[in-house]
Amino acid sequence: MEYKIVEIKDRIYYVGVNDRTKHLFENLWPLPKGISYNSYLIDDDKVALIDTVDICYSEVYFRKIKSALGDKPIDYLVVNHMEPDHSGSIRWLIRQYPEITIIGNSRTMDMLKGYYGITDNVLAIKDKDELNLGKNTLRFYLTPMIHWPETMMTYVPESKTLFSGDAFGTFGSLDGGVVDSLLNPDWYFDEMIRYYSNIVGKYGSPVQAALAKLSGIDIEVVCSTHGPVWTEKENIDKVIALYDKLSKYEADRGLVIAYGSMYGNTEQLAEIIAASAAENGIKSIVMHNVAKSHQSDILRDVFKYKGLIIGSPTYNNQLYPGIESLISALRNRNIKNRLFAYFGGFSWADASLRHLSEFAEEMGMEVVCDPVSMKHSLTADVAENARKLGQIMAEKLNCRK
Ligand code: FEO
């Protein structure tokens, strides 16, 4: 046996892999500390595998499966999610186990055919269908749009184990321990927010629907497709509460100031606003120069904090390109329930404030005060307006829980 396979619960094993090579998840989102692709094996009278791993790791993945099972065949593959970071090894799997039956829902079947040409040996399940493996039962819950249409979860009532797909997952490889009780989970919670805001953030309503569906289920283990396996009650409560909060677009008292600045003038407005907000009691302030901060981190912080201030110079009669990109990402994620303010600089035609005003109106943001406009460079009047903006935002944030 090459690998010592981690047993999570009676007959449930972890056979996932770590990826510390890829720079960008989905070729978009930075992976400074890697990522894990989690797959699970239930070695019962019938053997079931839950999801696979990215195709780049098929080889080590199969060596792990072999270490767990030896020559025993796999009867079922449950596909909770078809995105290729989890379905990428399905073709390899079929070559190794030609008799395997692939389980998914009707939308999974369409994707199996489309991505991999698979139409045989498939079993389409419906919501709350069950499949007995021996001592363990698989019960399937359809949870569409977290964050693809076919996403579903699989629950084993005997061990109260939920295989949740991407939900409750995090960026970050598993460096040593796989289960939360054998690692320090602190860092992962922030990465869960970044993962949620980047990947799932658009789908608040489907997440709420899924949480409602799961609310009557007794859960003692959460096996996501990324990050730690959650087994400690405190952590399970925390990750479910976090998903509830994020999907309702609720946020902590704190402020994000995201700005673009070509020559530093607009940036000086951002500095004055931040200092004023701090003087008026806001301790959690995050400033993002959009030309340097990755949008992945800005989105995380916008999902974390209640206050949002955006500043942009006018550029070709439009917004600064990095700000344009940011508001597009916020629009895409239906961001709401934020206290909003904005400011801008221009040299001959003031267009950025108009665009930011349109964004605020479109998103139904509560605009806390008049915007601050600056022509050419900072003056005493403009600085005073910026101080007022920071003060009013702080006062509004302090009034909210
Ligand atoms: Fe981890 Fe949506 O794939």
What tens digit of pLDDT does each residue of 233-264 get? 999 999 999 999 999 999 999 999 999 999 99
Measured between alpha carbons, how far is 335 from 279 in angstroms, rounded to an integer? 27
The residue contributing the CA closest to ligand 1 atom 2 is 83
Residue 401, pLDDT score? 56
> Which pLDDT score, from 0 to 100, does residue 59 have?
96
Per-residue pLDDT, 341: 98
Residue closest by Cα to atom 1 of ligand 1: 166
**Residue 190 near residue 284, CB atoms below 8 Å:** no
Distance CA 15, CA 269 (A): 52
Q: Please report the pLDDT score of residue 1 as a whole number.
A: 72
Look at residue 333 in the predicted model and tell me its pLDDT. 98
- Please write the tens of the pLDDT for every residue from 2-33: 999 999 998 999 999 999 999 999 999 999 99
CA 23 to chain centre: 17
From ligand 1's centre to the CA of 5, what distance in Å? 23
Buried b (16+ CB within 10 A) or exposed e, 336-370: eebbbbbbbbbeeeebbbebbeebbeebebeebbe
**CA of residue 385 to ligand 1 center, whole Å:** 45
Pocket, ligand 1, Cβ cutoff 6 A: 81, 83, 85-86, 147, 166, 225-226
Contact (Cβ atoms closer than 8 angstroms) between residue 343 and residue 372 = yes
104: exposed, middle or buried (Cβ count in 10 Å: 0-12, 13-18, 19+): buried
Report how far ligand 1's centroid is from the alpha carbon of 166 (Å).
5
Show pLDDT as tens, one digit a residue, over the chain (401 residues): 799 999 999 899 999 999 999 999 999 999 999 999 999 999 999 999 999 999 999 999 999 999 999 999 999 999 999 999 999 999 999 999 999 999 999 999 999 999 999 999 999 999 999 999 999 999 999 999 999 999 999 999 999 999 999 999 999 999 999 999 999 999 999 999 999 999 999 999 999 999 999 999 999 999 999 999 999 999 999 999 999 999 999 999 999 999 999 999 999 999 999 999 999 999 999 999 999 999 999 999 999 999 999 999 999 999 999 999 999 999 999 999 999 999 999 999 999 999 999 999 999 999 999 999 999 999 999 999 999 999 999 999 999 75
User: Taking the model in full, what pTM does it have?
Assistant: 0.97
Ligand 1 atom nearest the C-alpha of 147 is 2
CA–centroid distance, 349 to ligand 1, in Å, is 44
Determine the distance separating the centroid of ligand 1 and the alpha carbon of 169, expressed in angstroms.
Answer: 9
**What is the distance in A from the centroid of ligand 1 to the CA of 162?**
17
CA of 169, closest atom in ligand 1: 1
Residues 193, 191: Cα–Cα separation, whole Å: 5
**Residue 141, CA atoms < 13 Å, CB-side half-sphere:** 22
Question: Which atom of ligand 1 approaches the CA of 37 most closely?
Answer: 1
Atom of ligand 1 nearest to the CA of 165: 1
Which residues are CB-contacts of 127 (< 8 A; sequence separation ≥ 6)? 140, 141, 142
